[in-house]
Amino acid sequence: MSHSIYFNLLIHSDKFSVYRAVSEPEHLANWWPLKCTGIPKEGEKYNFNFTDDYDWYAEVKSVKHGEHIHYKMTKSDADWDPTTFGFDLEEKDNGIYLQFFHKDWVESNTNFKHSSFCWAMLLKGLKDYLEKGIIVPFKDRE
């Protein structure tokens, strides 16, 4: 049995701004990792660098410009390596409905629970980044 994290939130922004924020390295680094490289194209590699000890990699498993991007972890830690996470975007009258998932966790252990909490905090940071232009300094992100 695998475990999954799901969050849905409404972001008062346009679809392409939200898509860029979850797919383009220069925007990802404004709300999630310290540094990031990658190209939003299926099969491409992303580097999510948090520290020298947390220098992680993923591959783009599925992408449709302006609609979704899904990443499969390829080099991280034992808990994250089997996982896939992604962002699906749906246009609504008052913004973009972002559906986030992080699935295929082998155990519902401390790392899973901590990651779930962190994703909630980070997605709030993504919302504030897009709606208010707020960039939380990396050292202050959960």
Compute the distance between CA of residue 81 and CA of residue 122 in angstroms, rounded to an integer. 20
Predicted confidence (pLDDT) per residue in 89-141, tens digit: 999 999 999 999 999 999 999 999 999 999 999 999 999 999 999 999 999 98
Contact 100, 18 (CB under 8 A): no
Give the pTM.
Answer: 0.96
Residue whose pair of structure tokens reads 């996982």 in the numeric block: 83
Render pLDDT for 45-98 as a digit per residue (tens, 0 to 9): 999 999 999 999 999 999 999 999 999 999 999 999 999 999 999 999 999 999
Name all domains of the chain by residue range, CATH numbers in brackets: 3-140 (3.30.530.20)
